[in-house]
Structure 1
Amino acid sequence: MNATKVIFSLLLLLTVSSCAKFLDVKPLESISDAVTITDQNSALTALRGVYSALASGDYYGTSFQSIGYLSGDNVQWTGSQSQVQEFINHKVNADNSTIASVWIAIYRTINRANNVLAKVPTVTDPALTTDLKNQYLGEAYFIRALAYFDLARTFGGVPLITSPTVKPTDNVGVKRSSQAETYAQALRDLETAESLLPATTDRYRATRKTVWALKARYYLYQNEWAKAEEQATKLISETTNYQLLKPFSAFFASDARGTAESVFELFYNGTTEVNNHRNQWQAQTNGGTRQWAPNDALVTLLTTPATGGTRSTLIAKDNQNRWYGNLYYRNPASDPSYIIRIAELYLIRAEARAQQDKLSGSLADLNAVRDRAGLATTTAATKDAALLAIENERRVEFALEPHRWFDLVRTDRAKDVLNVTDSKRYLLPIPVQQLLSDPTLEQNPGY
């Protein structure tokens, strides 16, 4: 079997043999948070459970992603549920059902990772070689790092749980760490993952390269520009494995998946693994609900050649002449969730270089992304102009991906762009259910 042609499904991971073979596995619903790990097969099953939790509808399947773009300025809500409008209005309440489900989904992911991390080291099955054991542990550390990174940028400081939870009351009384401490936990996990994972290229499973990509994002959020540039360069320099594809739609259109554009994406097969994200975006004539849709400002940006270029393929019109998002379109619902694309690494490096007054290099990276989208080179000629151009480019490049809100918060631009004058609103409230179940948890200021 030609391994380059194999698509590594979350629930169809590789066996130990040198020839890549698919496994027959149970549906993801049957994978427990506390699956017994006694040998190589059960270790792999438990690791599948970690990826499945990451891909769940309340995490990267839909809900967590929706926080990133509903809270920005690209999307309008066409439905009637007021809790969704709260993100657009930047007045999210502690009883909001989305933040409640996201909190639970992320901690479920962490718990499954903790289960792998606690039990895999004790397994003595000869089939679970040292290299495989290190790989499984590295993948669990990476996913836990991503989970804590997402918690930190969404809620601020949270309870840091690093051991498996068996009973709901196990972690009652664990106080919130600070946001800085939560980010530090994510970095510790990334450092450990990097030491364990192979330096291979895999679009669907964490490798050392996936760690480099997330570290680039992490350092960008921490304003550690030189480190962000360094990590991004590691991926960008691998031109054989990672490329900005032309046209823009090449990474998602025509059922594409796992392209050279992708650093890390989540696989769904539409049957046992379903990405229901499409239902929120697609028009009713395509079997969706179009409950959120591109707003007028985004439509203008995408359909204006000077700003959208070939990225206009992100949206389409239905039979009533209404615009809808078209990044998620497959039926059955098997669209990937795109967690890290190489375009992000270019724009991370562009921003990091601009912040270090490396203007020519910054503009070169920005123009690489613009050229892929069919745009002329930027007219920015100063540091401030370059940073604004990068911010605007990120808005359009990731129009339907979960970056806009977090970008404006980390740069303290939400007050100017979104008129969010109360900086306490930069963090979302701790879900009220969590506060009621654990009196030691403290609510974020302003809620």
Structure 2
Amino acid sequence: MLYNKRYFAIILILLLTGTTSCKKWFDLKPSDGIVNEDYWKTKEDVHAAVIGAYASLLGDPAGSDSRDLSEILFLWGELRADMLAPSTGTKAEDYEVMNMNTSPANTITDWKPLYRTINYCNTILRNAPEVMNLDKTLTQDVLNGYLAEAKSLRALLYFYLVRSFGDVPLKLEPTTSDDEIVTLPKSTQQEVLQQILADLNDAESKALLTYGAQASDKGRITRYTINAIQADVYLWMEQYNDAITACNKVINAKKFGLISGSTAWYNTLYYSGNSNESLFEFQFNKQKINNFLYMFYNVKRFVASTVVMDQVYSTESFNKDIRGDGASVRAADNLIWKYVGKNDKDVRATDEAYAHWFVYRYADILLLKAEALAQLKTETACTEALNLVYTIRQRANALPSTDNAPSAVDFDGVARFVLEEQAREQMYEGKRWYNLLRFAKRNNYAHLDVLLDLVSVTVPLNMMNSAKAKIRDYNSHYFPIYQYELQTNKSLVQNPFYK
């Protein structure tokens, strides 16, 4: 089993870098993935450590976690939202989250896989600079590129954490083992967000624009990925002009575009992956498959909510939104299709269960910019926002029945139209809950109604009043701290709603 884990990771390195020099990472690192100080001797060691951090996104190097990071990000971004429905394989802990009744004992709230990769990044940031004293062929520019990747990956994972938990421990120094207990209190969400921006802004000028190969450019963080994260963070922080500026850096680079909505659209974007539309994807492959085929097809842990085809995409006899039936869902039985289909009709074979996990793609950038523009609340900005939305709708052949056609002076209508288009475009890509929460909390929760409406369509009738009462408490919008963390780290305090 250990050989197989090393093998898939080495294959990942070959895909990302086209070199065999990184095998040393897997030969020398301990089983928990932490590299000790004796390892850091050459530039190849640094390179291997960086690629190892990316490899950890695909699963626990020690094999102790049954849930890989893409599954966690899916659950965090979709379970509390409105596009999933329970099925025959739904677990009790899934029901808890879906019904707004999450307990600290629920393993879905276990943040260990994110902090594990954060620790790898911290290890790189501490040890890599010293290698320049030992290996004179490691240049400052090359080192800066590696450090930019580590800082940006750490920032991305902290961004997931603050959106999911609110206040979280801000750990910037490495530990020597995944299981080493560090008694670290929580930092405020604002403090963590400021650290995220500091890391991203420092990394931006040092990050590479390209690694010279398509798989590397999509599987490793480039400067464009950093701009995408910046835009997302600024939008969360309601800094709309900064978000627009970050989006424009990606758009104006003219390196990306929307894949044409032709018959090859699904295969190019989702089945094959690493298309011109992609900015950053988790690079699963035949040597390292993910859990999605098992989750959505074999055991049917979740299916699509009936609103997905009835209302989000809508249906017509001889016309369809290409993102709906045969792309995001299989309309005949509401099967979640995006990660299990090899085309619009056939299911992936077991050895093809390597659908990539999208972190950012070009359509996301256009929608982030549209959302920020809508919040400027001017006719000019909202006109531009609508143009971006219609660009995406045209590619997708979105149906007239889902076109709200808001006026450019209907500022709230434009903002809601963007939110609805995000649902269609980003279906099951782990973004729905964050989109809803970001919209709801804006201007001191001026739009709490979107979360109350969510409860009305997702929570059983006998639990609805309780769920709505919880939603009205803003602290409930963040997960509880997992009970194991509270038991082992006495400096942690449970999130307020769950005390």
Q: In the alignment, does 2:320 pair up with 1:269?
A: no
Q: In the alignment, does 2:490 pair up with 1:445?
A: no
1:328 corresponding residue in structure 2: 339
Matches within 5 A, 1:244-323: 244-247=259-262, 249=266, 251-253=268-270, 255-271=271-287, 273-282=288-297, 288-301=298-311, 304-305=314-315, 309-312=321-324, 313-317=326-330, 321-323=332-334
| Deviation, structure 1 residue 21 | 4.5
Q: Matched residue of 1:265: which SS?
A: strand
Contact 1:113 1:144 in 2 (8 A): yes
Matches within 5 A, 1:192-231: 192-200=202-210, 202-231=217-246
Q: Matched residue of 1:133: which SS?
A: helix
Q: Matched residue of 1:360: which SS?
A: helix
1:239 corresponding residue in structure 2: 254
The 1:316–1:191 alpha-carbon spacing in structure 2 relative to 1, beyond 3 Å, is closer
2:463 corresponding residue in structure 1: none
Contact 2:116 2:178 in 1 (8 A): no
Contact 2:261 2:322 in 1 (8 A): no
Q: In the alignment, does 2:119 pair up with 1:111?
A: yes
- Residue identity matched to 2:495: N
The 1:22–1:277 alpha-carbon spacing in structure 2 relative to 1, beyond 3 Å, is farther
1:72 to 66, 81, 88: 81
Q: Matched residue of 1:408: which SS?
A: helix
| Deviation, structure 1 residue 275 | 1.7
* Aligned equivalents of 2:57, 2:76: Cα separation in 1: 16
- Residue identity matched to 1:266: F
Contact 1:91 1:425 in 2 (8 A): no
Q: Matched residue of 1:196: which SS?
A: coil
* Aligned equivalents of 1:182, 1:399: Cα separation in 2: 28
1:418 corresponding residue in structure 2: 454
1:44 to 35, 42, 47: 47
1:390 corresponding residue in structure 2: 418
Structure 2 residue runs of 5 or longer lacking an equivalent are: 1-9, 60-65, 212-216, 341-347, 441-447, 456-470
1:433 corresponding residue in structure 2: 484
- Residue identity matched to 1:11: I
* Aligned equivalents of 1:32, 1:155: Cα separation in 2: 25
Q: Matched residue of 1:338: which SS?
A: strand
The 1:80–1:386 alpha-carbon spacing in structure 2 relative to 1, beyond 3 Å, is closer
- Residue identity matched to 1:12: L
- Residue identity matched to 1:345: I
Contact 1:59 1:65 in 2 (8 A): no
Structure 1-normalised TM-score?
A: 0.88
Contact 2:85 2:305 in 1 (8 A): yes
- Residue identity matched to 1:261: E
* Aligned equivalents of 1:228, 1:120: Cα separation in 2: 31
The 1:203–1:9 alpha-carbon spacing in structure 2 relative to 1, beyond 3 Å, is farther
* Aligned equivalents of 1:191, 1:299: Cα separation in 2: 41
The 1:308–1:130 alpha-carbon spacing in structure 2 relative to 1, beyond 3 Å, is farther
Of residues 27-36 and 236-245 in structure 1, the stretch that sits farther from structure 2 once superposed is: 27-36
The 1:436–1:24 alpha-carbon spacing in structure 2 relative to 1, beyond 3 Å, is closer
Q: Matched residue of 2:496: which SS?
A: coil
Q: In the alignment, does 2:390 pair up with 1:367?
A: yes
The 1:195–1:150 alpha-carbon spacing in structure 2 relative to 1, beyond 3 Å, is same
| Deviation, structure 1 residue 238 | 3.0
1:355 to 364, 375, 378: 375
1:147 corresponding residue in structure 2: 157
Contact 2:369 2:385 in 1 (8 A): yes
| Deviation, structure 1 residue 176 | 0.6
Q: More helix by proportion, 1 or 2? A: 2
* Aligned equivalents of 2:233, 2:153: Cα separation in 1: 14
- Residue identity matched to 1:443: Q
The 1:63–1:163 alpha-carbon spacing in structure 2 relative to 1, beyond 3 Å, is same
- Residue identity matched to 1:93: S
1:339 to 359, 362, 368: 359
- Residue identity matched to 1:446: F
| Deviation, structure 1 residue 86 | 1.4
Contact 2:258 2:395 in 1 (8 A): no
1:285 corresponding residue in structure 2: none
1:4 corresponding residue in structure 2: none
| Deviation, structure 1 residue 23 | 5.7
Q: In the alignment, does 2:150 pair up with 1:122?
A: no
| Deviation, structure 1 residue 352 | 0.8
Of residues 162-171 and 133-142 in structure 1, the stretch that sits farther from structure 2 once superposed is: 162-171
* Aligned equivalents of 1:305, 1:238: Cα separation in 2: 36
- Residue identity matched to 1:111: N
Q: Matched residue of 1:173: which SS?
A: coil
Contact 1:350 1:363 in 2 (8 A): yes
| Deviation, structure 1 residue 169 | 7.8
Contact 2:13 2:19 in 1 (8 A): no
The 1:364–1:114 alpha-carbon spacing in structure 2 relative to 1, beyond 3 Å, is same
Name the count of aligned residue pairs.
425
Structure 1 residue runs of 5 or longer lacking an equivalent are: 1-7, 283-287
| Deviation, structure 1 residue 302 | 5.4
Contact 1:14 1:22 in 2 (8 A): no
The 1:199–1:410 alpha-carbon spacing in structure 2 relative to 1, beyond 3 Å, is same
2:34 corresponding residue in structure 1: 33
Matches within 5 A, 1:183-198: 183-198=193-208
Q: Matched residue of 2:205: which SS?
A: helix
* Aligned equivalents of 1:9, 1:338: Cα separation in 2: 20
* Aligned equivalents of 2:187, 2:225: Cα separation in 1: 26
Q: Matched residue of 2:229: which SS?
A: helix
Identical residues among aligned pairs (%): 27
| Deviation, structure 1 residue 258 | 0.7
Q: Matched residue of 1:443: which SS?
A: coil
| Deviation, structure 1 residue 343 | 0.8
Contact 1:244 1:369 in 2 (8 A): no
The 1:225–1:290 alpha-carbon spacing in structure 2 relative to 1, beyond 3 Å, is same
| Deviation, structure 1 residue 250 | 5.0
Q: Matched residue of 2:155: which SS?
A: helix
* Aligned equivalents of 1:9, 1:305: Cα separation in 2: 42
CA offsets, 1:234-292, max 9 Å, x none?
11223343335324525434x32110110111111121x2222222122xxxxx22211
